[in-house]
Amino acid sequence: MVTFTARRSEPALLRPARPTPRETKALSDLDDELTLRYYETVVGFFRCRSGDVRRPADPAKAIRAALAEALVYYYPVAGRLREEIEEAAGGGGGAGRMVVDCTAEGVVFVEADADVRLEEFGQPLLPPYPCVEELLCDAGDTKAVVGKPLLLMQVTRLKCGGFVLGLHFCHNIADGFGMAQLIMAIADLARGAPAPSILPVWRRDLLTARCLPVPATRTPSSSLVVAMSPAHEPAPHGGGAVARPPPAANPMLSTPPDRMVVEYFLFGPREVSTLRGQLPAHLAELTTTFELLTAVTWRCRTAALGYGPNQLVRLIITMNARGRWNAHTPLPLGYYGNAHVSALAEAPAGDLLVRPLADTVELVRRTKRGMTRERMSAMVETVARLREWPPPTMERVYEVSDSKWIAVDMLKFGWAFLAGGGIPLAGDLTSKLGSDHMRCRNAAGELSTVVSMLLPRVAMARFKKEMAVWLNKDDDKSLTIMSSL
């Protein structure tokens, strides 16, 4: 695997290209979750089109100028978060809420060079990316966000003429789709457009509890739970028996970081077909790849962590409220704040592991399709009261996000196109306890899915054995792209 050291410029504060409004903007209840007080990390690898007359001599300087122009439209990103200590009228979690001071102080921008070609990062281009820390500027404490730049960007020029875009962005300001929208605006401006093709919309009041309809139920947490029905008779494990360890309290929280490992699991058409073949024909046709892989990884993870048969395990599916399912609270085009809602399923660990895979898939499907207007309002209300999601009393949680479609057909500079990238498991790991489903191509060039996984070292070995059984693999080492941090 290639190794290199990037030659970085000194970090510079990049301000909006023109004067912007000086004001204070409130965050939504979803933006202001305590669990989002960190910097998310993204890397994107871009291949430049040879011979394109629009291609700039220096992509880093072109992107720098486009970012300054984009900040005129996305001017809150150039501001700073401030925490309000006064109690809001009527209570409801007013103390400690954050607002954005639109001060135009700017974002961090770093230019860098690396003596490596895009092809040397791997063919196909898949995580883990070698020397990923060299592609990202220093964000300091990634869990301290108040009073700091909200975006840190490094553009690394490669020997082949391509470049890598490495980002740290404050999750309280935007989710993955929102940040991709900002990068799309930069791409628009970098290829000479007079303005972004999608203009940003703030409207954080749309996902604030006091502005949403009152939910029909006053038990918001329980209204979100889709439980595995106890009426079904237990059935044997669909993939065979694997020895399991004695129950543990919560190894995901008690294991020191140096004893955790990160792995990436690649699921191409062949692997998905193998798993789909273990479902009844009617269900196999209806089930999406995300639902299928979520069901299987939840089962394997539960078995690997050794939970007791009567301990409840919970699955949280992060859903994008911009999706077609959300006809009841439509968000305007250009909304770039956090628009994720969390559908929750739970089941006793023993029941989850002994029933057919079809039961788990059905549970995942019901969970996704059960996000009604009332449940969405209830979740926002719960977040507003508790200031974090999931609530701190919830244990044995596995959170899954489908980020495959965030950057598809969006990040096009005209003279360069996205060759690969995603969310690397780098930096602080406490925000990486779930899995991200990322889009990629396998060695045969087929569209595939990469699923990230963070587990204690011993549990990871058991996870791979479980997954090998489901995939009818003789060697569990063939499942992963990476084996350790």
Catalogue the active-site residues: 171
- DSSP codes joined into one string, 236-256: --TT-----PPP-S-HHHHS-
Q: Answer whether 68's CB lies under 8 Å from 153's CB.
A: no
Q: Answer whether 321's CB lies under 8 Å from 194's CB.
A: no
Show the tokens assigned to 455.
């587990």
Show the tokens assigned to 14.
């990049």
Phi/psi for 349 (5° steps) reads -55, -40
Show the tokens assigned to 381.
């209300």
Q: Answer whether 24's CB lies under 8 Å from 101's CB.
A: yes
Q: How many CB atoms lie within 10 A of CB 478?
A: 11
Distance of CA 78 to the CA centre of its chain: 23
Burial class, 10, CB count within 10 angstroms (exposed 0-12 / middle 13-18 / buried 19+): exposed
Q: Answer whether 301's CB lies under 8 Å from 335's CB.
A: no
Which residues on adjacent β-strands are paired with residue 226? 345
Q: How far apart are CA 227 and CA 344, in angstroms?
A: 9
Which residues on adjacent β-strands are paired with residue 399? 316
Report which DSSP code applies to 441: E
Q: Answer whether 217's CB lies under 8 Å from 378's CB.
A: yes
Q: How far apart are CA 303 and CA 294, in angstroms?
A: 14
